Amino acid sequence: MRRTFAASLILIFPVIAGAAAPETSGTGSVPAAVSRPATTEDLALLTGALTKVARDMNRWAYTETLLVKDEKGRVKQNRIVRHDPSLPYAQQDVPAQIDGKPPTEAQLKDFRSRGEKRGRRIERGEPADRQDLSGQSVGELVDLPRALVVGDDGKRVTYELPLRQVGNTRFPPEKFQVLVRVAKDGQRLERAEVRLREPLRTKLVVKISSGEAGADFTTIDPKYGPAMTAVRGNASASILFIHVGGSGDVTRTDLKHVRPFAERFDVQIGPLKALDF
């Protein structure tokens, strides 16, 4: 369930955890008044913040509410799911409500089946939630050493993270902008965004005209890295001359730090990436 938002928008805007520039109010985007190569100190702040999130990102249990609407505001998906990585794989994602109704036995069975399949991928050391295992995550494509500082108000630094050109088959660097905001106090990642710079055509039949996705991170317990607590995004595209679009909103509440079931034998399986989407 950790990729429900990405799965919902994958056909028209294949990204999830978003970007933000420094803001005057703490939310929203900020113009890039500053743009300079990140210094050694800047990079240390950035990598420290990302490492803290990555270290604990798979250790949070939470209740996730997903709401997806089409471009006319009509609800297409609406569900509430409890995710707990400390439980056996088949029990890690349990729906409490789907489209305003209690889940049916068939839906519960489907969630259990998907959990078991995900568990097998984890045990094999494969990306657990990547629908296309050959796909690349933003975390695998960003070029951190070439990060730019595009905002610094003394308390927070906003970075633009360039994407690598070589070997990048998913996020053309000239088409996508990745931004992250880090609070200097405690090296805390606060927000990340991905934006479409200009229209993008994929596989000849899909033209993505606009889109952006953003994720907010919150410190739940000072002993651990911030957790992702909200993801919001929208996209507009044309598929075979048919216009489609919509928005997605994910919120996570009742967060609890737990020990993942995958580490029951004191073995940590697979790499953790703060920008794994």
Does residue 28 fall inside a structural domain? yes
Summarize the confidence of residues 29-34 as an average pLDDT.
50
**Alpha-carbon gap, residue 178 to 161, rounded angstroms:** 5
Query: How many domains, in total, are found in the chain?
Result: 1
Does residue 213 fall inside a structural domain? yes
Summarize the confidence of residues 49-75 as an average pLDDT.
91
Does residue 270 fall inside a structural domain? no
Does residue 41 fall inside a structural domain? yes
Q: Nearest-5° angle of CA 24, CA 25, CA 26?
A: 105
Q: Could you tell me the residue range of the domain that residue 84 belongs to?
A: 4-263
**Alpha-carbon gap, residue 261 to 258, rounded angstroms:** 9
Does residue 139 fall inside a structural domain? yes
Handedness of CA 143, 230, 249, 107 (dihedral sign): positive
Does residue 274 fall inside a structural domain? no
Please state, rounded to an integer, the average pLDDT across all residues of the chain. 78
- The candidate with the shortest Cα–Cα distance to 20, out of 247, 232, 175, is 232
Q: Which helix (H) or strand (E) holds 244?
A: strand 242-257
Residue 274 has pLDDT above 70, yes or no: no
The torsion defined by the Cα of 254, 58, 213 and 36, in degrees rounded to 10, comes to 120
Q: What is the pLDDT of residue 18?
A: 30
